[in-house]
Amino acid sequence: MFGFGRKNRALLGIDISSTAIKLIELSHTSGVVADPYRVVTFAVEPLPVNAVVEKRIADVEVVGQTIQRAVLKSRTSAKRAAVAVSGSSVITKIITVADGLSGAEMESLIQLEADQHIPYPLEEVNIDFDVLGPSTSGVDTVDVLLAASRRENVEDRVAALEIAGLTAEIVDVEAYAMEHAYSLLLDQTGGVWKSTVAIADVGATTTTLHVMENGASVYTREQNFGGQQLLDEIQRRYSLPPNEVLDRLRSGQLPESYKAEVLDPFKEALAQQIARARQFFYSSTRFDRIEHVILAGGCARISGVDQVVEARLGCPVSIANPFQHMPTDPHVDGTALAWAAPTMMTAAGLALRELI
């Protein structure tokens, strides 16, 4: 299900969020070491309200049609795609097994382990595993990552891609896609693998804190907070119809009091949510420090939000742009790509799955 171990073939990275379909296609840049990837094409296509609810696809047909529009807009010829399920819908477990097992022996053992660790009948879940390497638990043993998700989480995404004329090559986990995308942000953290870096992905309804240690994901936590709260407050305070709020916000057609009454308090609330997520991370792990925070998601595009979060956290904060130094194919709109960049982390990580 999760496509562990498959590499070296380009594919579309498609992020199915609660508000939009985000699509990106990357390729290798021949002979370039500093910037080994290029943007072949990308597209962002808004989703109708309630097509995806709490990261669960509620209307497969509508989502599939929206993916199809994104594919047409991007002008890609690719037919293979990678999508992701959210961390809250996936059970992961690292188990230790004897080294040297055959493929069939490993699969049989994983089935037995899965039956112990997964609180659903095995016929109701998709399971995959990846051998991580030698274990520190004992000689001649290896650590194996076991991942499982309810079948409907996977099958709905596969079905939506099929409606769009695509094949689901990989169904990944958002946290692992974010880990891959993090490799594109090294220059934003000083150009080295800092020991502990957090990516705060602030979406429409959910804020997810991903923490990386030396480039590997060590912690993920979701909180119910996002940009929809800003839209709801604008609607409430200025008595606007719901379908006008986003257009007014994008065009700047809001009262002069908007910044002081609504925007500034929202930025402070966002900073407080990230600080709270950081505190949960400290209290539930062995870590006591985050050296750098990268803001991702639609709310990362709010002017000055990085400065407010930095003042609250007391550590450097930057805005995610995984494509900052990437060359692009001629038809790619560089301005539109830069605007979309903070929201494209999951899609970029998925597109990288078979390039790294």
201: its two tokens: 């992905």
DSSP codes joined into one string, 102-135: -HHHHHHHHHHHHHHH-SS-GGGEEEEEEEEEE-
Q: How far apart are CA 105 and CA 163, in angstroms?
A: 37
Token digits for 155? 């099958």
- Rounded Cα distance between 304 and 309, Å, is 9
φ and ψ at 212, to 5 degrees?
Answer: -110, 135
Distance CA 156, CA 128 (A): 18
The token pair at 5 is 């171990």
Q: What is the pLDDT along the chain (356 residues), one digit of tens a residue?
A: 555 444 446 699 999 999 999 999 999 876 555 568 999 999 999 999 899 998 899 999 999 999 999 999 999 999 999 999 987 778 888 888 888 888 788 888 888 878 887 777 888 888 888 888 888 887 889 888 888 888 888 999 999 999 999 999 999 999 999 999 998 987 666 655 568 999 999 999 999 999 999 888 899 999 999 999 999 999 999 999 988 998 899 888 999 999 999 999 999 999 999 999 999 999 999 999 999 999 999 999 999 999 999 999 999 999 999 999 899 999 999 999 999 999 999 999 999 988 87
pLDDT of residue 123: 82
Neighbours of 294 (CB within 10 A): 25
Q: What is the pLDDT of residue 5?
A: 46
CATH class of 89-151: alpha beta
Angle between helices 242-251 and 228-238 (to 10 degrees): 100
Please give the angle made by the CA atoms of 207, 208 and 211, to the nearest 5 degrees.
145
The per-residue pLDDT for 164 is 98
Enumerate the β-bridge partners of residue 198: 211, 293
